[in-house]
């Protein structure tokens, strides 16, 4: 919704790792976004992307307005047109960026949504009612904390400096590096020219460059072994009281959970899920009604890679690993591509489809075997769709080995 050029419901990600931000920017470009905002809070970067030009990020703007306060955690409500905008953060973690239609009589939903954030035995956020309309509606409401008030926050259009950047423009830390590099480029060129003109001795002529002298590229995905708790998690999601978990999706950097409300409240949902999820309204697959789209960053521990010295010398382990998975997923179908190599690694892509998986039949022995899978076997993408109490799984794996000649067997 347009309000003086401010946008709330943008494509959002957050991380303390610059490498993740760069990967998400690449993903945003692939999805067709043309502009992005990058707002740093403490050690965390809040990324927002859109396909529009000349607009500003409402979340970054609101946070800037409250940085002078002593409290680092806020829940902010402001009426914008026919909606109430809800923006919440706890210290450097963004909790919510949500627009709710006022026609839906959102009071009970707001109380449930913010209960944990405002509770004195919870996240202990402060409540800010911005603008006269929000103050008229909720100043005397039964909040767990005394609300504070301020003027309208979106009464002016975003300035040039507040507008989102063209996505082809690099992040600030890369632009700073360009300045440093430009100061040393002449010296580097001079050293390179001197090295090229240096007389070559016979012993030096016999030396060959090796890819290990360069920085090796990261492996795709996360360790498949780190996802050993997925079957038990699917079982818990099958029995979330008062809510329907319809789909789980995973990419290299993020998890998404699509849920539809039944008879239970938002507070009931929060009590049944881990406190890692970021809540926002969104379309739920297979439903004409809007639901909740929950997102969570992937723990960095899942992305750990084996050192090059400990990397498997060949892809021979893949056959036994897939046999292990077949034992615990008898209905699984595997499609394995031919071996590829780039000098650093050799790898094979594996598509796994499991129809009608019943997490009730999963055993602790299966979880133990899953945790022991080689760290070179990576999960690149995955999805799980609920079908009653059963789940339809799609996994995209990549098996890595040391670069060079492929010693492993190709699968058809």
pLDDT of residue 404: 54
Q: Are 125 and 75 in contact (CB under 8 A)?
A: yes
Tell me, yes or no, whether 250 and 348 share the same domain. Answer: yes
Count of CB atoms within 10 A of residue 392's CB?
A: 15
Residue 226, domain member (yes or no): yes
Tell me, yes or no, whether 135 and 252 share the same domain. Answer: no
Quick check: helix, strand or coil at residue 58? helix
Residue 167, domain member (yes or no): no
Distance CA 386, CA 234 (A): 9
pLDDT of residue 281: 58
H or E segment to which residue 382 belongs: strand 377-387
Two tokens at 106?
């959102």
Q: Which of 116, 150, 184 is the last residue of a domain?
A: 150
pLDDT of residue 186: 57
Q: What angle do CA 305, 309, 312 make, to 5 degrees?
A: 70
pLDDT of residue 280: 67
Q: Are 3 and 9 in contact (CB under 8 A)?
A: no
pLDDT of residue 192: 61
Tell me, yes or no, whether 226 and 146 share the same domain. Answer: no
Domain extent, residue 107, equals: 5-150
pLDDT of residue 190: 56
Tell me, yes or no, whether 106 and 237 share the same domain. Answer: no
Number of domains in the chain: 2
CA distances from 39 to 21, 96, 127 (A): 11, 15, 22
The gap between the terminal CA atoms of the chain, to the nearest Å, is 50
Q: Hey, CA dihedral for 116, 119, 121, 122, is it positive or negative?
A: positive
pLDDT of residue 9: 84
Tell me, yes or no, whether 115 and 261 share the same domain. Answer: no
Distance CA 16, CA 57 (A): 19
pLDDT of residue 39: 93
* CA 400 to the chain's CA centroid: 23
Residue 213, domain member (yes or no): no
- Among 228, 231, 395, 376, residue whose Cα is nearest residue 308: 376
Two tokens at 192?
């390179």
pLDDT of residue 175: 57
pLDDT of residue 30: 86
Q: Are 346 and 403 in contact (CB under 8 A)?
A: yes
Residue 253 DSSP label:
S
Q: What angle do CA 406, 408, 410 make, to 5 degrees?
A: 95
Residue 126, domain member (yes or no): yes
pLDDT of residue 40: 92
CATH number at residue 110: 3.30.420.260
Give strand ranges (E) for 82-241: 83-90, 93-101, 126-130, 148-150, 165-166, 222-223
Distance CA 7, CA 50 (A): 9
pLDDT of residue 309: 72
Tell me, yes or no, whether 380 and 234 share the same domain. Answer: yes
pLDDT of residue 366: 78
Residue 142, domain member (yes or no): yes
pLDDT of residue 122: 79
In this structure, which long-range contacts are made by residues 114-123, counting pairs with CB atoms below 8 Å and at least 24 apart in sequence? 114/75, 114/86, 114/88, 114/143, 115/144, 115/266, 115/267, 115/270, 116/267, 116/270, 117/73, 117/75, 117/88, 117/90, 118/75, 118/143, 118/144, 118/145, 119/144, 120/144, 120/145, 123/73, 123/90, 123/95
Q: Are 271 and 249 in contact (CB under 8 A)?
A: no
CA distances from 211 to 12, 348, 388 (A): 36, 20, 50
Q: Are 216 and 307 in contact (CB under 8 A)?
A: no
CA distances from 122 to 32, 90, 111, 388 (A): 39, 11, 14, 34
Tell me, yes or no, whether 144 and 235 share the same domain. Answer: no
Residue 160, domain member (yes or no): no
Residue 408, domain member (yes or no): no
Tell me, yes or no, whether 283 and 142 share the same domain. Answer: no
DSSP secondary structure string, 324-343? HHHHH-TTEEEEEPPPEE-S
Counting as low any pLDDT under 50, the low residues of the chain are 1-2, 178-181, 183, 200-213, 283-288, 405-412
Q: Which of 150, 174, 206 is the last residue of a domain?
A: 150
Residue 242, domain member (yes or no): yes
Q: Are 78 and 65 in contact (CB under 8 A)?
A: no
pLDDT of residue 184: 55
Q: Which of 123, 150, 177 is the last residue of a domain?
A: 150
* CA 218 to the chain's CA centroid: 18
Tell me, yes or no, whether 233 and 367 share the same domain. Answer: yes
């Amino acid at each position: 919704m347009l309000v003086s050029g401010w946008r709330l419901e943008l494509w959002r990600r957050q991380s303390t790792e610059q490498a993740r931000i760069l990967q998400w920017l690449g993903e945003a470009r692939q999805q067709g976004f043309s502009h992005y905002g990058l707002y740093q809070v403490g050690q965390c970067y809040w990324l927002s992307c859109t396909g529009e030009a000349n607009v500003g990020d409402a979340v970054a703007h609101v946070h800037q307005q409250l940085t002078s306060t002593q409290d680092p955690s806020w829940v902010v409500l402001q009426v914008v047109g026919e909606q109430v905008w809800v923006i919440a953060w706890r210290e450097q973690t963004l909790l919510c960026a949500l627009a709710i239609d006022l026609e839906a009589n959102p009071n009970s939903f707001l109380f449930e949504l913010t209960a944990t954030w405002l509770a004195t035995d919870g996240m202990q956020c402060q409540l800010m009612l911005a603008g006269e309309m929000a103050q008229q509606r909720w100043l005397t409401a039964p909040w767990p904390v005394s609300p504070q008030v301020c003027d309208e926050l979106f009464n002016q259009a975003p300035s040039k400096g507040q507008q989102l950047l063209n996505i082809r423009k690099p992040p600030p830390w890369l632009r700073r590096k360009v300045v440093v590099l430009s100061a040393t480029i002449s010296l580097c060129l001079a050293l390179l020219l001197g090295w090229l003109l240096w007389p070559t001795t016979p012993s030096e002529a016999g030396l060959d460059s090796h890819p290990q002298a360069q920085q090796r590229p990261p492996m795709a995905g996360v360790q498949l072994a780190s996802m050993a708790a997925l079957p038990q998690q699917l079982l818990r999601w099958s029995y979330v009281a008062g809510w329907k978990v319809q789909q789980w999706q995973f990419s290299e950097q993020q998890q998404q959970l699509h849920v539809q409300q039944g008879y239970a409240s938002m507070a009931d949902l929060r009590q049944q899920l881990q406190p890692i999820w970021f809540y926002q309204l969104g379309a739920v697959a297979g439903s004409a009604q809007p639901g909740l789209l929950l997102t969570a960053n992937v723990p960095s521990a899942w992305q750990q890679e084996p050192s090059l010295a400990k990397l498997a010398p060949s892809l021979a382990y893949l056959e036994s690993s897939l046999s292990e998975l077949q034992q615990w997923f008898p209905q699984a179908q595997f499609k394995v591509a031919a071996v590829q190599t780039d000098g650093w690694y050799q790898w094979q892509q594996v598509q796994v489809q499991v129809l009608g998986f019943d997490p009730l039949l999963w055993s602790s022995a299966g979880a133990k075997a899953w945790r022991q899978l080689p760290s070179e076997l990576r999960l690149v993408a995955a999805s799980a769709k609920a079908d009653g109490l059963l789940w339809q799984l799609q996994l995209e794996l990549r098996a890595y080995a040391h670069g060079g000649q492929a010693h492993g067997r190709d699968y058809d």
